[in-house]
């Protein structure tokens, strides 16, 4: 299992080692101990989600209030998506920056996002299926979004006319979310993750 930190501090791409033969394959897609060593604290697994999307669907950019936030470990178990990590933490040196990671059923990479980051994806295939585990259960009053097509954010989605949910269509721009005080504070995010304890 290889870990590569993204340009967004605290976010990692995880590439598993796949063991295959004519019968099929085996791999460890998640290791509590190895991830803890890399990120500096354990990932509490509180909820597991499965998302199935048609080609050209864009979901996100979603984030949660910190504390407690919602760290995510995201994998694609069928098809392919272009997964995006967005730094929405006010005061972060990477604020407003985003990075794509291709997740698919071939390389079987995963992405780890700590609390305070925004997450979204574009389905590159029909029936693109994401599996992700979260550090906290869903809290409708603490969950928010930034419009995925906000030109100031400038995410370069690989589709001309993405399909969005009504909720994502109505999400504020990054500037609107910032002005309203909706976005997480970078220092508060660091303090919260520090409170989670080391390995």
Taking phi over 0 as left and psi of -120 to 50 as alpha, with beta for the rest, 192 belongs to alpha
Selecting among 30, 73, 112, 132, the annotated active-site residue is 132
Query: Does residue 119 have an active-site annotation?
Result: no
Selecting among 62, 119, 144, 147, the annotated active-site residue is 62
- Helices marked H in the chain — which ranges? 32-39, 166-169, 174-179, 186-195
Structure tokens at 125: 């295939």
- Residue-wise DSSP of 121-178: EEESSTTEEEEEEESS---TTTEEE--TT-TTT----S-SS-B--HHHHTPPPHHHHH
Using DSSP's 3-state secondary structure scheme, residue 183 falls into coil
Query: Does residue 73 have an active-site annotation?
Result: no
The catalytic residues are 62, 132
């Amino acid at each position: 299992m290889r870990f590569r930190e993204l340009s967004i501090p605290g976010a990692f791409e995880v590439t598993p080692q796949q063991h295959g033969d004519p019968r099929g394959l085996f791999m460890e897609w998640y290791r509590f101990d190895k991830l803890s060593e890399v990120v500096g604290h354990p990932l509490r697994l509180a909820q597991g989600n499965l998302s199935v999307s048609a080609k050209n669907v864009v979901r996100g950019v979603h984030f949660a209030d910190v504390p407690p936030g919602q760290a995510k470990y995201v994998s694609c178990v069928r098809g392919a998506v272009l997964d995006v990590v967005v730094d929405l933490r006010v005061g972060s040196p990477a604020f407003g920056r985003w990075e794509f990671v291709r997740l698919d059923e071939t390389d079987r990479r995963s992405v780890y996002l700590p609390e305070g980051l925004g997450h979204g994806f574009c389905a590159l295939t029909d029936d693109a299926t994401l599996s992700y585990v979260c550090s906290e259960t869903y809290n409708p009053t603490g969950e928010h979004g930034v419009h995925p097509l906000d030109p100031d954010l400038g995410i370069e989605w690989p589709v001309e006319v993405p399909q969005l949910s009504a909720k994502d269509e109505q999400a504020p721009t990054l500037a609107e979310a910032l002005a309203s005080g909706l976005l997480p504070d970078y220092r508060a995010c660091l303090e919260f993750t520090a409170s989670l304890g080391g390995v």
